[in-house]
Amino acid sequence: MASVTYEAVTLVYPNAKAPTVNNFDLEVADGEFLVLVGPSGCGKSTTLRMLAGLEDVTAGRILIGDTDVTTAPPKERDIAMVFQNYALYPHMSVRENMGFALKIAGMPKDQIDKQVETMAKRLDLLPYLDRKPKALSGGQRQRVAMGRAIVRKPKVFLMDEPLSNLDAKLRVQTRTEIAALQRELGVTTLYVTHDQTEALTMGDRIAVLNGGILQQAGSPRELYDAPQNVFVAGFIGSPAMNLLECTKDEDHIAHYGDARIPIPAVSETEVTVGFRPESIELVSDSEPNTIPIKLDFVEELGSDSYLYGHITGTPEDSTQVVVRTLPNSAPAPGSVFHVRINPDEHHVFATATGERLPV
């Protein structure tokens, strides 16, 4: 096992106008499960591939433990990787796929069989050891790919969107299995996904990238409760945080259409006020300083209702607002209801920079 350190790592492809990854600084502790998350094209897979030795670093250093591996070939890094497309050998059985790296390393066959069968038992693959990949389901193939990587007992385990080819139900089941297995084995793991729900439910820490730049790294709770900028605020959470670009008056009331939102004292006049769908309460229209919302449609999810609408006094195509309420409690579509943000559950950012303001 080992820690992983990125020191001001940058990658610029030939003829590119901007770095794909720019000045990336991050330390992953020994045994930690770190999730790299962000939209498509943000540089998260490239960051993983540089650690694996599959992409050349333009500037900076990468260390595994105390060893600088920036220019080391992949085979000398003692890492194992699971890809989105499984990358199994179709002509080999499950047993042969899982034991292939051990065979190449010269391990005796009886030891290979023992390690493969131990891992297959842990992954519920014992009945399938003599099958070829084409005779397995998607979830089983993914477990074979995981087993092939883990059985080597690498220092670092890398996963590049391993669940993206699975259906929704199997994704939930498999992500739980991966998280539990990683905690049991204690292997340092970097996991790439564009799905922020996976990030929130799996990682010890999350690193959010955008445009090749690290936006924030912290625990799932830290990123959810205290996003450092508007991008992280809007990316982490489902449904996303409501973000309103407001003008603040001298009484520290933020105005957006007919909405009046009391905020803490800040020096900026142009502020972006954020609030989660669950961070508000329904109030009477006679209450002062409320957010009046015209309801467009309702999403009933059984345990919750999500109300989608726009704030009165704004154009029909203005920023949509989402409110979470109890099931079957929604007003009629087209009606106007009033809400207020719960105390200490709003987020204030400088509109000019997008950065969080201290309050």
Q: What does the domain layout of the chain look like in residue ranges?
A: 4-233, 240-350
* Per-residue pLDDT at 312 exceeds 90: yes
CATH superfamily, domain at 240-350: Nucleic acid-binding proteins (2.40.50.140)
Cα–Cα distance for residue pair 33/188, rounded to 1 Å = 6
Greater confidence (180 vs 310) lies with 310
Q: Domain spanning 4-233: which CATH class is it, in words?
A: alpha beta
What is this structure's pTM? 0.89
Judged by average pLDDT, the poorest of 102-116, 202-216, 285-299 is 102-116
Cα–Cα distance for residue pair 36/206, rounded to 1 Å = 6
Average pLDDT over residues 75-94: 86
* Six-digit token string for 96: 């042969």
* Per-residue pLDDT at 299 exceeds 80: yes
- What pLDDT is stored for residue 145 in this prediction? 86
